[in-house]
């Protein structure tokens, strides 16, 4: 579904990605693991067009989408839940979700958008309760749910998630990851960037380890969780 070939990009003057190759199969949860500063966020940002790619290309269903503007990516069904949630803090929960469907108002009937909003409210019932609350007053976990919900409102085929567990309590993380699994069952393909290796490998089908901007290891989630190096470095066993 998504294929990244020899991708390099820069963060300021630093080469944050060095010839990264990766593949996301339709229907899978693919995860990119690595420590802080490994280039995980830059990788997602390059895929969604926020950071320009210097070398290499990105193919989506075989079509070259390298360096298209972010809004074009959304139109094609790629939706990015950015690092730090980036919700519209001054707007209500409902307004945030409506903006998620920004490109669909001309295209889709309002009943379809309403249906998707109901789906988001079913997935995250707390958002329904907070519907008319200003988003900036939500807790961290609720903001993360809202960011995911907003991304879902564009009806994506591929969901890019940047560290949804970041800064959240273990119980909230479990809830959110259970929801990701549910989305996976609904047929949404997920590319998940995580620092928490354990929890990511629990739900993923396939994974890549990124270190200093390079893919150093890849394999199925099972292979990776059995891998001796990963056990030592990332799982602390």
Contacting residues toward another protein, per CB under 8 A:
48, 50, 69-71, 74-75, 79-80, 82, 86-91, 95, 98-100, 102-103, 105, 136-137, 140, 150-151, 153-154, 167
In sequence order, which residues have a C-beta less than 8 Å from that of residue 127 and are 6 or more positions away?
93, 97, 120, 121, 142, 145, 146, 149
Shortest Cβ 69–another protein spacing (Å): 7
Q: Which two tokens stand for residue 95?
A: 């307004």
Q: Give min distance, CB of 84 to another protein, in A.
A: 8
Extract the tokens encoding 90: 């001054």
Of 71 and 186, the one with the shorter C-beta distance to another protein is 71
Is the dihedral angle over the CA atoms 17, 18, 19, 20 positive or is it negative?
Answer: negative
User: Is residue 137 a contact partner of residue 91, using CB atoms and an 8 Å limit?
Assistant: no
Token digits of residue 135: 């988003």
Say if CB 67 and CB 54 are below 8 A apart. no
Residue 104 or 221: the one with the smaller Cβ distance to another protein is 104
Supply the minimum distance, in Å, between the C-beta of residue 167 and another protein. Answer: 7
Which residue, 39 or 149, has its beta carbon nearer to another protein? 149
State the minimum distance, in angstroms, from the CB of residue 149 to another protein: 12
- Of the pair 30, 154, the CB lying nearest another protein is at 154
């Amino acid at each position: 579904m998504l294929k990244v070939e020899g991708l390099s990009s820069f963060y300021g003057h630093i080469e944050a990605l060095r010839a990264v190759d990766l593949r996301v199969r339709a229907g899978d949860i693919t995860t990119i693991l690595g420590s802080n500063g490994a280039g995980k966020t830059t990788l997602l940002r390059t895929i969604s067009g926020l950071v320009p790619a210097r070398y290499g290309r990105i193919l989506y269903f075989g079509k070259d989408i390298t360096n298209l503007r972010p809004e074009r990516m959304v139109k094609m069904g790629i939706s990015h839940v950015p690092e730090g949630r980036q919700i519209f803090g001054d707007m209500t929960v409902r307004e945030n979700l409506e903006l998620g469907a920004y490109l669909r108002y001309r295209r889709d009937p309002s009943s379809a958008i309403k249906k998707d909003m109901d789906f988001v409210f079913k997935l995250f019932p707390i958002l329904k309760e907070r519907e008319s609350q200003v988003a900036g007053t939500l807790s961290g976990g609720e903001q993360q749910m809202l960011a995911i919900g907003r991304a879902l409102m564009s009806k994506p085929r591929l969901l890019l998630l940047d560290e949804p567990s970041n800064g959240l309590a273990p119980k909230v993380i479990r809830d959110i990851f259970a929801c990701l699994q549910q989305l996976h069952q609904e047929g949404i393909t997920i590319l998940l960037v995580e620092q928490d290796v354990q929890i990511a490998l629990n739900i993923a089908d396939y994974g890549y380890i990124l270190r200093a901007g390079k893919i150093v290891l890849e394999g199925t989630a099972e292979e990776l969780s059995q891998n001796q190096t990963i056990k030592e470095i990332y799982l602390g066993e």
